[in-house]
Structure 1
């Protein structure tokens, strides 16, 4: 199963665009910081992740304030160039 739930801050938002099928699409950059336990020891995490939201949810996510934290759910896919991953957001929790 490929499902990701991530609490992240929206640090960058592109302009609304449209797919060839006419669906709204929005590119984002998300930042996440937390502390997790790994092998019994605390570990600080800090990451930035590219994300995209396609369809009616793009309008809603487009209204999210930059710098605000939200819970995003979706799935990971390869970027078009095959280098790296992008989070496809399917839910704003």
Structure 2
């Protein structure tokens, strides 16, 4: 199963753009920071990931405040142009 829930802050937001079919797209960079237990030891976790939202969700996300903490839900895929990961956002709160 490829389902991700991530609390993160928006570090960067590109201007809203549109696909050739007219679908709104918003590219983001989001940053997560937390402390997790691993092998019985607390570990500081920092993560920066590219993210994208499409359609109505992209239009709603374009007004989100940079630096504010949000809960994002979505899935991961490989970027079309590289082997890096892109988080596809399906919901946020």
TM-score, normalised by the number of residues in structure 2:
0.96
Aligned residue for 1:68? 68
Q: Helix, strand or coil for the counterpart of 2:21?
A: coil
Aligned residue for 1:26? 26
Q: Please list every run of at least 4 consecutive aligned residues from structure 1 whose deviation after the TM superposition is greater than 3 angstroms.
A: none
**How far is the alpha carbon of 1:82 from its aligned partner?**
2.8
Residues of 2 paired with 1:2 and 1:19: CA distance?
25
Q: Which runs of 5+ in 1 are unaligned?
A: none
**How far is the alpha carbon of 1:53 from its aligned partner?**
0.2
Q: Which runs of 5+ in 2 are unaligned?
A: none
Cα offsets for 1:26-57 (capped at 9, x unmatched): 00000110000011111100110000001111
1:16 aligns with 2:9: no
Residues of 2 paired with 1:16 and 1:74: CA distance?
19
How big is the alpha-carbon RMSD for the aligned residues of Structure 1 and Structure 2? 0.8
Residues of 1 paired with 2:5 and 2:55: CA distance?
19
Residues of 2 paired with 1:12 and 1:34: CA distance?
19
Q: Helix, strand or coil for the counterpart of 1:56?
A: helix
Residues of 1 paired with 2:70 and 2:6: CA distance?
8
